[in-house]
């Protein structure tokens, strides 16, 4: 069935470093890939998304890249700050005739001052 694998499960960086989180999806027909940030006990918040007709998208310190051939997509955070600490989820929309998102298992990012 549809599957999204996400790595690493935890990531610790120093403030100012870059962080990269990678996801792989199984459904080659997937065409929409959002990333969510979730703080403890809160709802996931969309931080960036990419559609299959582009290879990269940037929004200030956040960027997402997509490799459709390899079925990989990645989140890049530059100049990390302590407030970036949270759990990040990737997702892929699978082609079931409606907008179903399949989520990765999450990456806990810890940014140390």
The residue from 17, 18, 29, 46 that contacts another protein (CB under 8 A) is 46
In Å, how far are 42, 47, 97, 104 from 36, measured between CA atoms?
12, 6, 23, 10
Query: Residue 51 CB, nearest distance to another protein (Å)?
Result: 7
Among 18, 28, 45, 112, binds another protein (CB under 8 A): 45
* Under rule CB under 8 A, residue 44 binds another protein: yes
Determine the Cα angle at 78 with ends 75 and 84, to 5°: 80
Residue written as token pair 């990989």: 72
- DSSP code, position 26: S
Among 8, 17, 51, 79, binds another protein (CB under 8 A): 51
- Residues binding another protein: number (CB under 8 A): 24
* CA distance to 14, 19, 31, 78, per residue, from 111 (Å): 6, 9, 31, 12
Q: Which of 41, 60, 70, 113 binds another protein (CB under 8 A)?
A: 41
What are the residues binding another protein (CB under 8 A)? 4, 6, 9, 31-32, 34, 41-46, 49, 51, 89, 97-101, 103-106
């Amino acid at each position: 069935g549809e599957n999204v694998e996400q790595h690493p499960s935890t990531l610790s960086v120093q403030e100012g470093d870059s962080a990269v989180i990678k996801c792989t999806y199984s459904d080659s027909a997937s065409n929409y890939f959002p990333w969510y940030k979730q703080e403890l006990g809160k709802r996931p918040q969309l931080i960036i998304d990419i559609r299959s007709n582009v290879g990269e998208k940037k929004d200030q310190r956040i960027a997402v890249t997509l490799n459709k051939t390899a079925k990989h997509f990645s989140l890049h955070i530059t100049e990390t700050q302590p407030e970036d600490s949270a759990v990040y989820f990737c997702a892929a929309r699978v082609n079931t005739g409606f907008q179903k998102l399949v989520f990765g298992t999450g990456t806990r990012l810890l940014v140390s001052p």
